[in-house]
Amino acid sequence: MTTETLWTLATVLVFPGGLFALVLGLALKGVERRAIARLQRRIGPPLVQPFYDLLKLMRKRTLIPDTANAFVFLAVPVAGLASMAVAAGMIPIAGFFEPSPLLGNLVVLFYLISIPAVSLMLAGSASGSPYGAIGFSREMAIVLAYEGPILLSLVSVALYAGALTGQPVLLNLTEIVRYQQQHGAFLFDPWMWPALLTYLCFIPANLGIAPFDIPEAESEILEGPLVEYSGPPLGLMKMMSVTKAVVVLGLGIALFFPNGPAGLAGLLVFIIKCLVLVLAVSLLKAAVGRMRIDQAVLFYLKWPELLGFAGLALAIARF
């Protein structure tokens, strides 16, 4: 193996993928739970609670239902977590980390981001539980609804950045970040606001946050796809979802507001941006109830889709 391959592997397994994303994700989850408790005037769990939960799950017994397809049931959490580790390795942190070009570009990242949703669907249908099946169908519906807007948002950024740098389309995330470092963030560019809003709409649906936590509604369908999971596989599922939070927030930061100082301070700025986003998300989660699946699908097919097309039109108009 060449050093480049080894280095790529390290970015996927240790920093910023794998270990780092997992620890950051768990810490953000702790902040989120605490923030929600405070918003509801409760004391809330300690900040390290998600770490305790994960350790506990790793020591519990694994139950596999008779009706489940055992191989798919156990393989799916591993696949989901692995895809998220790779995706986290592809997120640039301005001034601190540039992902290896071996891992691929924005298109690959887009596909990787949809793998956890596919994992949840497979998990739900492989578990052989009716609640899992309902979770599966809801997850499928909401994925179909938000996949369009997010694709439009990513394409708008790629086209816009391409137009500004004189290429047809710029799919390299590192270069998008570098351009914004030199010429100012897209966050402050009104031409990009529709795309930004579309991305912001996509975050709660993808992370399963109220009002769009419909596939995993624990008070209606007992956490849907996760209903039959227990012990370490459930732990892997939780690890997947916290890493996904880091990937989705990190991608948003890289696309729209990556600016930060060089060196370790850049990493710190990145973490602070994640924290701000998580606090905003907690506010949303504490403030609203859950939508019905048909309302959520209609919502995504209407407003974010419309915003996405507006963003695309603006990006094309820039040529």
Partner 1 sequence: MDFLSKAARKSPWLYRINAGSCNGCDVELATTACIPRYDVERLGCQYCGSPKHADIVLITGPLTARVKDKVLRVYDEIPDPKVTVAIGVCPISGGVFRESYAIEGPIDRYLPVDVNVPGCPPRPQAIIEGIAKAIEIWAKRA
Residues that bind partner 1 (CB under 8 A): 33, 37, 40-46, 49, 51-53, 55-56, 58-63, 218-219, 221-223, 226-231, 234
Taking CA atoms, 194 is separated from 43, 302, 305, in Å, by 38, 14, 10
Secondary structure letter of residue 213 according to DSSP: -
| CA-based nearest residue to 256, from 181, 310, 314 | 181
120/84 Cα distance (integer angstroms): 13
112/241 Cα distance (integer angstroms): 13
Q: How far is the CB of 41 from partner 1 (least distance, A)?
A: 4
Q: How far is the CB of 75 from partner 1 (least distance, A)?
A: 18
Q: Structure tokens of 290?
A: 């859950």
Q: How far is the CB of 56 from partner 1 (least distance, A)?
A: 4
Q: How far is the CB of 122 from partner 1 (least distance, A)?
A: 18
Which residue, 2 or 219, has its beta carbon nearer to partner 1?
219
303: Cβ contacts below 8 Å, ≥ 6 apart: 201
Which residue, 5 or 67, has its beta carbon nearer to partner 1?
67
Which residue, 186 or 229, has its beta carbon nearer to partner 1?
229
Which residue, 57 or 177, has its beta carbon nearer to partner 1?
57
**Longest Cα separation, the chain:** 58
φ, ψ for residue 289 (rounded to 5)?
-95, -170
Which residue, 51 or 309, has its beta carbon nearer to partner 1?
51
Q: How far is the CB of 162 from partner 1 (least distance, A)?
A: 46
Q: How far is the CB of 245 from partner 1 (least distance, A)?
A: 18
Which residue, 185 or 234, has its beta carbon nearer to partner 1?
234
Phi-psi region for residue 131, left (φ > 0), alpha (ψ -120 to 50) or beta? alpha
Strand partners, 97: 93
